[in-house]
Amino acid sequence: MSYTITPTSGACGATVAGLDLSKELDQATIENLRAAWLQHQVLVFTGQDISDADLERFSLYFGSFAGDPYIASLDDNPNIIELRRAADETTPIFADAWHTDWSFGANPPSATILYGITIPPHGGNTDFVNQKKALQKMPQELRSRLEGKNAIHSARRAYAPTGAYGDGEKESGKERGFKIKTSESAYDTQAHPIIRKHPETGEETLFGCVGYIIGVEDMAEDEANQLLMELYTWQTRPEFQYNHEWKPGMVVMWDNRSVLHKANGGYEGYERVLHRTVIS
């Protein structure tokens, strides 16, 4: 298949046109896509009409499935999560704060892949922010305060019983279009370097941000919070962002090791359905 890879006008991302992901890809194409993904961090495949089996096959080109610790998969497919929001749903928008998926784990995933099935006519953008570029442009004074420091990551603010998706949301009586599995395990912590080398490219990048980061090792809470907020203010600046506008039939994959992402609302009164895989 003849296809093109065109960088977006944002700080990261590229559009792949001309590939049919319902068909098997040859090894040369897979290797080229992986190189493009590592270079651009976000790949957008346009014009797709694929089944869950196709999504699984495409995902496995890039690694094995990682599962999901806190979101239920499809009843008939443990590798795929359906992110569904009904037209009349009134719960807070899911994942609408900057984060990298599962940074609270010992071995966070490399890729997340989303397939847009039902896309509203407006709203629902997914925003990305390039953490390699944010580090490259960072003032030396701030960088020097981050170098050598480990951040303490945890899922407690989201997936613990006391978290955003925990008992309070359940008691509100409002229902989501998919099941979130809160757990005591969300209180666990995991340390990762704030500045670290990408495991494939070797390039330095920032990893994670407040939300899943609850502190800094060997630093007092007040001092750590101040540093983390300074980091957050810098690493999410508009000049480091790519704002993705969804259309039906798009497949988007991103590198959790070098970008942050967040969901957006703005599509009240419309249903939105995406299928997701996560790659270890």
Residues forming beta bridges with residue 255, ordered by sequence position = 111
Give me Rg for the CA atoms of the chain.
19
pLDDT (tens digit per residue) in 32-85? 999 999 999 999 999 999 999 999 999 999 999 998 999 999 999 999 999 999
Pairing of strands 14-17, 42-45: parallel
Residues forming beta bridges with residue 196, ordered by sequence position = 205
Rounded-to-integer distance, Cα 99 and Cα 210, Å: 8
Residue 191 banded pLDDT, cuts 50, 70, 90:
very high
Q: Using the Cα atoms of residue 219, residue 222, residue 225 and residue 229 in order, give the sign of their dihedral.
A: negative
Tokens encoding 43: 């790949």
Q: Which of 207, 211, 209 is nearest to 258 (CA)?
A: 207
Q: What is the pLDDT of residue 171?
A: 85
Mean pLDDT of the chain: 97
Q: What is the pLDDT of residue 173?
A: 81
Q: What is the pLDDT of residue 189?
A: 98
Q: What is the pLDDT of residue 172?
A: 84
CB neighbours (10 Å) of residue 276? 20
Tokens encoding 51: 């089944």
pLDDT (tens digit per residue) in 222-274? 999 999 999 999 999 999 999 999 999 999 999 999 999 999 999 999 999 99
Q: What is the pLDDT of residue 176?
A: 94
pLDDT (tens digit per residue) in 118-168? 999 999 999 999 999 999 999 999 999 999 999 999 999 999 999 999 988
Rounded-to-integer distance, Cα 187 and Cα 60, Å: 31
Contact predicate 132/41, CB 8 Å: yes
CB neighbours (10 Å) of residue 88? 9
250 burial level (CB within 10 Å; 0-12, 13-18, 19+): buried
10 burial level (CB within 10 Å; 0-12, 13-18, 19+): buried
Rounded-to-integer distance, Cα 189 and Cα 212, Å: 10
Q: What is the pLDDT of residue 165?
A: 94
Contact predicate 158/74, CB 8 Å: no
Residue 219 banded pLDDT, cuts 50, 70, 90:
very high
Q: Which of 277, 258, 276 is nearest to 129 (CA)?
A: 258
Residue linked to tokens 């496995």: 60
Q: Which of 46, 71, 264, 31 is nearest to 183 (CA)?
A: 71
> Which runs of E-coded beta strand occur in 70-229?
81-85, 111-118, 126-130, 150-153, 190-193, 195-197, 204-206, 213-216
Q: What is the pLDDT of residue 174?
A: 87
Give the predicted TM-score (pTM) of the model: 0.96
